[in-house]
Amino acid sequence: MIRILYIIYGTAVLLGLGVAQYQGWSLATVNEVKNVPRSVRDNPGSYRSVYSAYHHYTGGK
């Protein structure tokens, strides 16, 4: 019984992996924004990125 359940589970994992690879899933954090105005093309500064206010690491030992 456990073996059958595992085979079903494993098949689902591989099918999920196939779909993920085909559709191009990734683990990256990306924010999707709708209806960005065309004017951004001519005035890039008018776009407000959600990531621009993040604290930036200043690194180094």
Partner 1 sequence: MSAGGPTPPTKPQVRALNCPHCGAALTLRSFNNAVTIVCESCHSILDAKDPNLQVLQQFKASADEKPLIPLGSRGKIRGTEYEAIGFQRRTIHVDGEPYSWHEYVLFNPYKGFRYLTEYNGHWNDVSTLKALPEQVPNSSPPKVRYLGETYRHFQTAKAGTSFVLGEFPWQVRVGEADVVTDYVSPPRVLSSEKTGSEVNWSMGEYMSGKDIWRAFRLPGDPPEPIGVYENQPSPLTSDTMSIWVAFAAFALALVVMMIGFDLTADKREIFNGYYKFDSNKRGDASFVTDEFTLSGHTSNVEVNTSTDLNNRWVYLNYALINVDTGQAFDFGREVSYYHGYDSDGSWSEGSANDSVAVPKVPAGRYYLRVEPEGDPGYGVTYYTVNVKRDVPQYSLYALALGALLLPAILLTWRTLSFEHMRWSESDHPPIKWGNDE
Binding site for partner 1 (CB under 8 A): 2-3, 6-7, 9-10, 13-14, 16-18, 20-38, 40-41, 44-45, 47, 49-52, 54, 56-61
- Least Å distance, CB 46 to partner 1, is 9
Cα–Cα distance for residue pair 59/57, rounded to 1 Å: 6
- Least Å distance, CB 39 to partner 1, is 11
Residues 29, 36: contact at Cβ < 8 Å? no
3-state secondary structure of 18: helix
* Residue 34 structure tokens: 């709708």
- Least Å distance, CB 8 to partner 1, is 10
